[in-house]
Amino acid sequence: MTTIAWDGQALAADSLVTEHGNRVGYVSKVGRIGPVLWGVCGGIDQLEKFRTWFCGGMVGDPPPMKSSGDREAQAIVIYDGRVLSLSVDGWDSIRSNAYAMGSGKSVALGALAMGHTAGEAVRAACAVDIHTGGEIIVLHPA
């Protein structure tokens, strides 16, 4: 999985890729197109499908947030302060300055509630969640 956090100013994510409890590599799980930020947690296949769809102009329906192995994923899009979240249940839209998703969600939300930044929230998740680690990538809207 991963941990992605939004603090109202920045979107942050870890970069660790795990498979069957093993660390297998690192990848950027967040990106920016102009003022729009996006991120994906879940399987690497869902990350690649969503990134291709989103960066390709969002033609057609978004990719399913479930892989062939039934692993669920979640995507986040930040635009104009609004959090758009895509899961197996479809899109949700909220305004929030404290939002997190992924396997380290609870830890990140706790850190955000204590006034920490998105990057610090992901770093806190790295300390306790075995599926969160590596370089922390922090992006700000353009």
Which domain range does residue 46 map to?
3-139
> What pLDDT, on a 0 to 100 scale, did the predictor assign at position 63?
92
Among 68-72, 74-78, 94-98, which is the least confidently predicted range? 68-72
CATH number at residue 39: 3.60.20.10
Pairing of strands 30-33, 137-139: unpaired
What SS3 class is residue 26? Answer: strand
d(CA 52, CA 133): 24
Mean pLDDT value across the chain: 93
Buried/exposed code over 5-36 (b: 16+ C-beta within 10 A; e: otherwise): bbbeebbbbbbbbbeeeeeeeebebbbeeeee
Q: What is the pLDDT of residues 33-72, one digit of tens each?
A: 999 999 999 888 899 999 999 999 999 999 989 866 667 8
- What is the number of domains present in the chain? 1
State the pTM of this model: 0.94
